[in-house]
Structure 1
């Protein structure tokens, strides 16, 4: 009898828990559930089929050279890449990388990789040896597509990985040990007859992108086909179909890559300038009648203060999509004055762990200045107290936590296994709140990621490189507010006993291993010991306070 009573109690407890989980939590915000999910669950096929349907539409334009390709040409190239990858034995799930500057073959290559059933991972060609090797060792690619410059610069690093069997060069100039892109495309077929390799979209990985490294070194974040099938509908909504979109970011950045692919999904015309710069962008807007600008807050700030904006016809611009850092409400109001044709400015919020965008963009509506909108398709988002982890209501600051079919199950190699809470919510590390209408506002990061010229700079990478210098015992890097760059990296260094090093020597040591956008612009401070908290963890806030004290003294 006691045993039966115990079993009954356990079953009753489980029933109550199950019932509780079936109820909506009034403190959580829930995204829309009407996203379109095709039966094949294959993002490569989704893009490919749309390209075939729109074969005569212009897909991409290089505004610097006026080179362009139609969707029919795009599909033909992607099919040839997929078939050629299959010919050399690339199988479903194997990783193929691209290490190249923005070019017109980049996105067709990405689609071709996915259509072959393989997984794509972008590599930044401007990285130094350490950051690049760290990422390559995580994904261990079999094939590397790259520019001649990237191949010549990083060949030793590529070879150190030990898994790359084929190098494909986009340029026409031959390089020892590599295949020219035109020679690699040995297989072809009518693009109408081509069929992408089937995938299990719920589990199979379309991309591996990398986290910004706010907690330790960057981690590999897998994005499934299903995740981006849902996400892409918010990144570039169907209402932007056949529109002209200006893409300001490199394709090896997650923001640039995901936005570019989402634009291709709706058969938009993607316009870009490899050269970059305000003048080139304004010329492209005027010439190609750009409707949507995909930019960063730094570019918006340049347009607000522009001395040449009035020289160009920018009346075609109706939407601006901004991401990377927080955009002040004042900036939103100022750019509206500069661009009277602007219908909506959307502040996009997302993360690699969420598949890209975590909030619905609602581009057809006037968004609230400073807000990143409401939860995206299938997302559940909560704000929790930073200490107690209890869910919070409207207008209360806490950590943003996300859950849904687009959120990764785990990082590659299962690093950082405690990235989720007991309910399966991903901890974002971002602090924010939602208002009474359910609109979210992102305020800051729990961990101090440095934003130098709107680019994520990872302190742990600087520290790892500084520790390679024989005279450095300890190193801590933080961001110092700067009116021009947003933040500049500053290094605090403890030297080995009996060793010496100058600021110039350490900066030279770093500059030879990183790029300009990652340089140690704030200089070096020598101290006797680094401040540490519980568990000997570096107390970055104490270092930031030292910098603030410098400015007040």
Structure 2
């Protein structure tokens, strides 16, 4: 699961909630006092030293530094599929071949350098929904030597203005529809920035003061020799998405060219089985409906950039609409679908979606929010010719840190560590930073070449999220997620540290109760929070969305949960029935909004 708050990626799939107490086998293992390179229990990827404790390494094949900038990486093999479709809009049918996309990027880069006088490492803000032009806006900017900060187009002017200020953006790209919002955002940021707009409807006029995107990507009569080498290093910052990290305040995440290119390689690295998505050839091209937003790191790296590198066709959806997703899957013959749990639940529960609509689909890939074992089983029962995978990551990890191997049926797992990546579980109570063994629950720490450079201009947040390794072995990144790994090296997320409910000293993960609730035959979705209690500290309260045309009582829901969980996890805070759960753009439940209900 790739998770975020603003931009976090979490694929949590709970199978069996593990106790926070280390098992007796682990306790015996901890009593050993001899430092070793391996754990000695036969798991070649389980490491141990006295100083570091236990940590896990990757089973996937090693990948290597690409030593190039992101734009050059994406276009490396373009000659093999330059006449194939690169991106197409599911609504308008507007499309670009790879050759046209590549030329448009170069034309745009030239204009950014010469017409707009932007300098290497300047920041450009892209505030767009998923459009077939998104790759041009982003990769053209990168080719010009700029840093891209991605902005949610549904943000208010105040929110956009804050990001323009924090990132020190020098230019903005948006749609005609939201031009006035962008103009107000610039005023709030006290910046007089050029605003480039994309008309998304036929005969949509360009507002006064705006710049027509299509005019400046026009490839007619372009002198490509004017494109200047920006002198960018693979170590330079290429993306500046904003994330709440482990604290909740938005921070600019500095991701280098090297971070993103290596993560693209990690996503495709193989175990003994085949890669999850196949590279384009003369006779076949995979098709991916792009329903997850490109302004989010999951959509940007996993869905867009890594797939353009493979020559895949991207079918863009500006927003989630059931009819558009069905069209992308059925008429465009989608072969792989990156999704989040609410979309998975829609596909499973909607009578409008039939197995025939997904006749060409081979693979579901889930991320960004919790999904339960039973949810996956129901989906695969409806679509038996598909496979299911999920990943885990966060914006600060570019974003992918874990992915399930093909044919993994432990759907509660977020998978194994991707190539060149290490992780350990540390106690939630102590502060020695030593890694715990299998089946012990604690905070998940990760390190690898995809780890961000750091937060922009925020030494305090950097100090909080990084933890030094022993003997100069490299910094660990604190994820803020509560997790454990089993004897097979598969990791499981039980919850976010800051979302755990403390009942009489016991830790209750909301995600566990939410999965339990979703297994009720009348419940479509559920969210759980802790509310204050005079004697117990906190108690769980559930917010429930029922399936269409059914009724349920609070008492039957409370009883259903009580029969399945320990006494301290009972819904003593009650059940509230609501029409829909508040979620962010990636499907993550907004618990702060539930708390205000």
Length-normalised TM-score, structure 2: 0.69
1:25 aligns with 2:48: yes
Report the Cα distance in structure 2 between the residues aligned to 1:105 and 1:357, rounded to whole angstroms: 25
Q: Is the 8 A contact 1:207 1:223 kept in 2?
A: yes
What 5-or-longer segments of structure 2 have no aligned partner? 1-34, 39-45, 270-274, 281-285, 470-474, 501-509, 515-523, 530-538, 548-581
> Which residue of 458, 464, 472 maps to 1:418?
464
Aligned position for 1:241 = 279
1:395 aligns with 2:439: yes
Shift, 1:226, TM fit: 0.8
Report the Cα distance in structure 1 between the residues aligned to 2:226 and 2:99, rounded to whole angstroms: 13
Q: Deviations over 1:92-144 (max 9, x none)?
A: 21101111222221121101111111110111121123432332221111111
1:349 aligns with 2:392: yes
Q: Is the 8 A contact 2:304 2:314 kept in 1?
A: yes
Q: Deviations over 1:63-100 (max 9, x none)?
A: 12222211011101111111111113222211011112
Q: CA 1:480–1:412 in structure 2 vs 1: closer, same or farther (change >3 Å)?
A: farther
Higher relative contact order (CA 8 A, sep 6+): 2
How do 1:290-369 and structure 2 match up within 5 A? 290-310=334-354, 312-342=356-386, 344-362=387-405, 364-366=406-408, 368-369=410-411
Aligned position for 1:433 = 484
Aligned position for 1:123 = 151
Aligned position for 2:95 = 68
Q: Is the 8 A contact 1:129 1:157 kept in 2?
A: yes
Report the Cα distance in structure 2 between the residues aligned to 1:208 and 1:447, rounded to whole angstroms: 25
Q: CA 1:252–1:189 in structure 2 vs 1: closer, same or farther (change >3 Å)?
A: same
Aligned position for 2:545 = 484
Q: Deviations over 1:486-525 (max 9, x none)?
A: 9xxxxxxxxxxxxxxxxxxxxxxxx9xx9x9979864857
Aligned position for 1:464 = none
Aligned position for 1:285 = 329
> Which residue of 348, 373, 386 maps to 2:415?
373
Report the Cα distance in structure 1 between the residues aligned to 2:170 and 2:62, rounded to whole angstroms: 38
Aligned position for 1:385 = 427
Shift, 1:402, TM fit: 0.8
Q: CA 1:519–1:184 in structure 2 vs 1: closer, same or farther (change >3 Å)?
A: farther
How do 1:26-175 and structure 2 match up within 5 A? 27-31=54-58, 32=60, 34-39=62-67, 41-87=68-114, 88-163=116-191, 165-171=193-199, 173-175=205-207
1:181 aligns with 2:213: yes
Report the Cα distance in structure 2 between the residues aligned to 1:55 and 1:357, rounded to whole angstroms: 28
1:220 aligns with 2:252: yes
Q: CA 1:219–1:481 in structure 2 vs 1: closer, same or farther (change >3 Å)?
A: farther
More helix by share: 1
Q: CA 1:444–1:524 in structure 2 vs 1: closer, same or farther (change >3 Å)?
A: closer
Q: Is the 8 A contact 1:401 1:428 kept in 2?
A: yes
Aligned position for 1:231 = 263
What 5-or-longer segments of structure 1 have no aligned partner? 1-16, 460-477, 487-510, 526-553
Q: Which moved more, 1:285-294 or 1:180-189?
A: 180-189
RMSD of aligned Cα (Å): 3.5
Secondary structure of the corresponding residue to residue 358 of structure 1: strand
Secondary structure of the corresponding residue to residue 155 of structure 2: coil
Shift, 1:265, TM fit: 1.3
Q: Is the 8 A contact 1:234 1:361 kept in 2?
A: no
Q: Is the 8 A contact 2:161 2:185 kept in 1?
A: yes
Secondary structure of the corresponding residue to residue 354 of structure 2: helix
Q: Is the 8 A contact 2:66 2:262 kept in 1?
A: no
Report the Cα distance in structure 2 between the residues aligned to 1:326 and 1:522, rounded to whole angstroms: 17
Secondary structure of the corresponding residue to residue 395 of structure 1: coil
Q: CA 1:169–1:234 in structure 2 vs 1: closer, same or farther (change >3 Å)?
A: same
